[in-house]
Amino acid sequence: MEHHIAVNLFKDFSTGCYQMTIGCNDDIVGLTADGKKYHIVAILLLYDCDYSIVINDAENILRMYETEGRIDVSETYACDIKIRKAVDIQLTEEEKNGAVVIRDGVPYLILGTGKAFLNSVHYQEGWMPPKK
């Protein structure tokens, strides 16, 4: 599944929390509250529970994506979730077939072409559960 979604698990020893990161190599689309579409690069989930629960959530996310082609993090045990949206870049026809494009000196990976893939999204160090 790595070339579709790259799921990785981490423990941040500075907080004691676990994090699951999902790198989206496929074109994953989200919806804003007002119904506008956006493309997702990564989903980060924070856990302040036992590791076995994190493993179960990861297995459920992978199974759902493999069988239904969708990601639903609303039913996880994560105590916090962050979505990283893709930067909207207009590509030329030639660039659409490449792996990287540079805009204003900044390189951007072009996912979904089969030429470049995320294999891991790093965890966010120091991320703490929201205060209750």
The average pLDDT across 70-95 equals 93
Coil, strand or helix at 97: helix
Q: How far is CA 96 from CA 2, 32, 42, 53, 90, in A?
A: 21, 26, 20, 39, 9
- pLDDT confidence of residue 124: 96
Strand segments (E) across the chain:
5-12, 17-31, 37-47, 80-85, 100-103, 106-109
Query: Percent of the chain scored above 90 by pLDDT?
Result: 78
Burial state string for 29-41 with b = 16 or more CB within 10 A and e = fewer than 16: eeeeeeeeeeebb
- pLDDT confidence of residue 2: 85
Within a domain: residue 82?
A: yes
Within a domain: residue 124?
A: no
Look at residue 24 and tell me whether its pLDDT is greater than 90: yes
Within a domain: residue 100?
A: yes
Domain count, the chain: 1
pLDDT tens per residue across span 25-53: 998 999 888 999 999 999 999 999 999 99
Supply the range of the domain harboring residue 18.
5-109
- pLDDT confidence of residue 104: 92
- pLDDT confidence of residue 114: 82
- Structure tokens of 66? 């493999």
